[in-house]
Structure 1
Amino acid sequence: MNTWICKTTVAALALSLLAACEEGQGGAFLQGLDTGAAPPKAIALSQANMAFGAVTLVAPKGFCIDKTSLRQNFALMSRCEALGALSAGANAPVGILTASFSAASATIPSPSETAAAFGLNTVTDPVVSDRSVTFRANGRAPAKGLSETHWRGTARVGSQMMGLALHGPSGGRAIGAEGRAILDQMISSLAADG
């Protein structure tokens, strides 16, 4: 039974991210990554209510939430300066961070289950706890100029399961050890609320 619940959660997270892509969320932002210019009508937020108020998503230090990407179950974040908040993104690595939410299940998907759900390979550096999982993997990059290697995380936050993906350029800080620290920071801040 736990396996079915776990697969259901992974499938729900996958569908949330796929729906976000199909609806074009963050599309203008992703196209502007090459130039470093803020997308048209970008509004940078430091936090947002998600999952109909069940979770307050707080962007990690130096990152802001792109208000135009927000849905109840999805948010896209990047360096604040990429979203027009020039002074807020100092020293943050270049990259994009997505967060998606679905109803929590009894178990957190393992790195291999998450990798299978998203078509990822070469899973490395897994860290598993009773509340979260983080790992690095390879998969299709969401935009030109970003590495296929990226960080993934899943965490139980109150009644919700949060899925995270952090992408950065090849050789960039976001795909190194600093990337995991960013996911850990987000998970810790949300776990304290949940």
Structure 2
Amino acid sequence: MNTWISRGVVFALSAFGLAACETAPTNSGARSLPTQALLANGAVLLVAPAGYCVDTRSKKDAFALLARCDTMGGETGAGVPLGVITATALPATSDRALPDAAEFQATRGVRRVFEQFAGRSQTLVRAEGPAPAPGLSTLHWRGTTRVGGHMLAVAVYGPEGSAATGREGRQLAQQVMARSRSGTDALLRSRQAAGQTPAAP
């Protein structure tokens, strides 16, 4: 699965990756930032993990970038690892299998897959590949899950030495995928109860 990153997103990754320290500072003048975003013409509700917010400047219909809230002027609680998360929603048929380690290995930007965590609802790998922006580690996490008739592809990047490149990065990816599935399911139920459906692509 190709999780293509535009030049604008690379710039954002670089800015977020280098603009903050690993320990989130206290920000008394913090702004309220969005933690959710609708993707794929409203079919997928992307929900950020704790301490992360949506970068509305880089959002597209099928793509969003998440960063630690304090790097965008918001408030982040203690213990949130510094990193950036990309999320891409792609249409998928119900019989489309989740990617395995070999498919992740063949993905653009992946040289090697170290670990794989596969389940019925999601697949997650720790991979190595060229850093998408200066200052970010070559180690990162990639995951895929089914959400709202789409495949939601998630990638978690962090600066060299950031906890986001280790176990905590895996937890960030798992949170995004689990929260987005639950949020999308709840949104679909509320629309069905109201007699609404997402607009056709």
TM-score range, shorter chain: 0.7 to 0.9
Q: What per-residue deviation string (whole Å, max 9, x for no partner) do you get for residues 54-105 of structure 1?
A: 01111100111100011011111111000111x2354311111000010023
Q: Are positions 1:95 and 2:83 aligned together?
A: yes
Q: Are positions 1:188 and 2:173 aligned together?
A: no
Q: Are positions 1:77 and 2:61 aligned together?
A: no
**Root mean square deviation of aligned Cα:** 2.1
| Percent identity for Structure 1 against Structure 2 | 36
Unaligned 5+ runs, structure 1: 1-9
Tell me by how many angstroms 1:28 deviates: 4.3
Q: What per-residue deviation string (whole Å, max 9, x for no partner) do you get for residues 116-141 of structure 1?
A: 02241221220111221001010111
Q: 8 Å contact 1:154–1:163 — kept in the other structure?
A: yes
Unaligned 5+ runs, structure 2: 22-30, 186-201
Q: How does 1:17-166 map to 2 (within 5 A)?
A: 17-18=3-4, 20-22=5-7, 24-25=8-9, 27-28=11-12, 30-31=14-15, 33-36=17-20, 44-85=33-74, 87-105=75-93, 106-166=96-156
Structure 1 segments of 4 or more deviating over 6 A?
none
TM-score relative to the length of structure 1: 0.81
- Cα distance in 1 for residues equivalent to 2:77 and 2:139: 23
Q: 8 Å contact 2:11–2:133 — kept in the other structure?
A: no
Q: 8 Å contact 1:79–1:89 — kept in the other structure?
A: no
Instruction: Choose 1 or 2 for highest CA Rg.
Output: 2
Structure with the bigger percentage of helix: 1
In the alignment, which residue of structure 2 is the partner of 1:4?
none
Tell me by how many angstroms 1:167 deviates: 0.6
